[in-house]
Structures are given as structure tokens and as C-alpha cells.
Structure 1
């Protein structure tokens, strides 16, 4: 069975949007966006809900045009210099049920020509959450290492995100876990080729990678005192 989600037309639309990132162009091509981006994304979100619940019942797969797992295509241009109105990627975040925004723990899928990947973890957690994770790593480093360095997991995912230059306040400069304690993001990424996104095995590929990241997500949730 062919991939019923993202096709070459999806990539062609995103490429064209990157070259014509204007409201007038987008409005003119809104039917293409609906057919090639939003509808297949919502289909994917709806279909994965059962498999995601088997990995963890506490992450939400909500197939809504707004307020669900599909991230809005409009960019927030209020505070930055970049005034391009639209994102040129598809972002899907299956957020923890307790989360209110993109900074919550979540499984993630990113589709962008030449830069597709599966992700898991937390991006820019607030200081309270960051402190809990750092304390967990500092106090029980062996448990963190067992998750981080697991053979299957580390073969598929790599830690990503930004880190502090110096040791965070309250932690020794010579702490054996300093490299991870300096992290400002606790997320992992697993790259996908554009061809893999278009392939008929795409769905099972994503589910398998989410499952492989489950121990990592479980560790973070336990540190944050959240159900997994």
C-alpha cells in the first residue's frame, strides 16, 4: 500500500512556499496546502493515536486544525526581525497530557525538504523543569547513562540542542556528569530522508522510532514527576 500521508506533492508545496513566503501567494494556494499538507498530517495524527497510546497513554494525538498535535503554519513575527509569515515545514508534536505548550515533553515529527527527523524530549524547558532533570542526573547518574547510552537508542537517536558554557549554578565544575548537566535542552533527534517520508513504510518507521525513544521519555517524565 502506498504512503497515504506525505508525497512528493507535499515536498513540492513546502519548497514553493519557501520561495514565495507571502500571504498573497499562500492565500492563492490555500487549497494545495489543505490537500498536500494539512489533510495528510491530520490523517497521520489520527491514525497514530492507538500505537502512541501503546507506547504511553499520556501523550496526546489530537487531529485538530488548531490546538492539536499539528503545529500552526503561521509564524509569530511580533518580536523577531524575520517577518516571513509562514513556516516552511510541517511540525507535529504529541505533547504530554499535562503540557500547555511546545516546551512540554513530547514526541515530535518534523518534515521539511532536506531536513526531516523524528524527535523526543523537551525543548527549552522552564527553569523548574530543567532543575528537576539536572538533579535527577546529578543524583542518579547511572540511570541516566543506562538510558542515554543504550545500544539501540544511541544507534537511532543523538542528543541535540544548546548547552551552557559553564557549569549551572549549584553544580560542581568538576561533576562527572557536567556535560549533560549543562544542557538547556533535553531532546534527541533521529534523521529521516525525504524518500523515507514518502515511502510506504513511513508510518511504521515513525512508530518504531517513537518506541525506541520510550525509555528516554520515561526517564524525563520520572524526573519531572509526570506519569509515563
Structure 2
């Protein structure tokens, strides 16, 4: 079965989750979740994944929860986590490499009633990836390469996630060219679109493919970083 897009009711359903965010409500509306969210999400992963393999043949994708799909339930056990039990946005990831799916460079997307968010890279670093990133950009040529990549991406109208640190880490100083690249807690580029785009399957796939193609150079850079992670992150 081909992916035709998400029903318009999918955005209405997610808004209903936001207004009725409790497990009892969700259990009573489980069939709607499967019809409007889960089933078309699986088809989307297959369709988008096949397209993305034209850009990166070694990409990983699988239309399963905790693979390319995310759980609808939040992990509320973590300190500081959002304690609302359900997510009102639906995310997808297509990742490259053998590490954790969110610590491997990848193509990401989520949609909610508010936005369609499209991104490439690693949105936040756990320590092994942070160490690998900093070690990689200690090299002057690699920092210059990354700076040129970000300049090109922003010139094309995309945004880069904000820096997360204020002080340069050990091994970097203000005299180094582009030393501020060491201040990032993640390295990713993104674009925000109107959520209604998800309702037209062909337009959604075409738009995402063009965006991911433009962002591919950062994807490839961050994949090179991931290959230098010293700790097994499977």
C-alpha cells in the first residue's frame, strides 16, 4: 500500500491529545490513533526511507516503534522531564551508522498541530558524541569545513540550532579560527514548514527530499564525527 499522506483528521487528533492529555482518554481513542497516526506513519517511513536511500544508501530505517517511529507516551521518569503523559507531536528518524539512533547522524522530522519540523544532524550530544565532535573539530581544516557548510546551509534559508555553552571547552581558545563551533551541544540544521503539508503524500515526500538533499553535506560531516566515537554506544 502506497503512502498517500496523513488524513486531515490527524492534526485534529493531535490537538485533541493536547486538550485531553491523559492515558484514560487515549485508551478510549486508540483506534483513532492507529487509523490517523500509526498506520500512515509506517507507510511514510517505508516511502521516505526508500527515497532517502538515493541520497545515502547505508541509511537505517524501520517502521517500528523505537526504530524510525517514536512512542506516543513520554518517559516521565527522567528528572526534569515533561510530566504530561502523551506527546502531541509525531516524530520520525532515519539514521546512519551502528550507534544509537539519536546519537548517529540522521534525517529527522516531526509534525504537530503547530508545525512541520525538518532537521538533519544530531540535535543533542551525549558525552561520547560530544567528545568525538570536539576532538574532530580541534583540527583547523575540519573547523573550516564545518563553518563553510553552515554558511552554505544558512545562505540557502535553513537554520542551525543554537549554541548551548558559553565557555570554550578545554583544548579551544579564542585565538583559534571558528572556535565558537565548540560551543554547540548538538549540531543540526532545520526548517519549519506548515503542518498541513503532511496531508498531501506526494508533496510531502518531494519537499522533504529537496530539503534533505540541501542538508546532506551536514549529514555527511556528522556521520564522519560519529565514526570517531570511542565508546560503544549500541
Give the TM-score, by structure 1 length. Answer: 0.89
Partner of 1:76: 75
In structure 2, C-alpha distance between the alignment counterparts of 1:54 and 1:93, rounded to whole Å? 16
SS in 2 for 1:99: coil
1:165 equivalent in alignment to 2:166: yes
Note the 1:78-93 alignment, pairs <5 A.
Answer: 78-79=77-78, 80=80, 82-93=82-93
SS in 2 for 1:38: helix
Partner of 1:52: 52
Structure 2 counterpart of 1:217, from 216, 219, 233: 219
Contact 1:5 1:41 in 2 (8 A): no
The answer for unaligned runs of 5 or more in structure 1 is none
1:176 equivalent in alignment to 2:177: yes
In structure 2, C-alpha distance between the alignment counterparts of 1:214 and 1:172, rounded to whole Å? 29
Instruction: Report the Cα offset of residue 101 of structure 1.
Output: 4.0
Pair 1:147–1:36, CA change in 2 (3 A): same
In structure 1, C-alpha distance between the alignment counterparts of 2:41 and 2:215, rounded to whole Å? 21
Pair 1:87–1:184, CA change in 2 (3 A): same
Greater than 3 Å deviation, 4+ residue runs: none
In structure 2, C-alpha distance between the alignment counterparts of 1:81 and 1:44, rounded to whole Å? 28
Q: Could you report, residue by residue, the CA deviation over 1:83-109 in whole angstroms, capped at 9, with x for unpaired residues?
A: 221111001011223122423221101
SS in 2 for 1:25: helix
CA RMSD of aligned residues (A): 2.1
Shifted more, 137-146 versus 68-77: the winner is 137-146
In structure 2, C-alpha distance between the alignment counterparts of 1:55 and 1:29, rounded to whole Å? 38
Q: Could you report, residue by residue, the CA deviation over 1:21-43 in whole angstroms, capped at 9, with x for unpaired residues?
A: 01110001101100111111111
Pair 1:57–1:196, CA change in 2 (3 A): same
Contact 2:59 2:97 in 1 (8 A): yes
SS in 2 for 1:54: coil
In structure 2, C-alpha distance between the alignment counterparts of 1:25 and 1:70, rounded to whole Å? 22
Contact 1:137 1:177 in 2 (8 A): no
Partner of 1:143: 145
Instruction: Report the Cα offset of residue 225 of structure 1.
Output: 2.6
1:32 equivalent in alignment to 2:32: yes
Contact 1:161 1:183 in 2 (8 A): yes
The answer for unaligned runs of 5 or more in structure 2 is 229-234
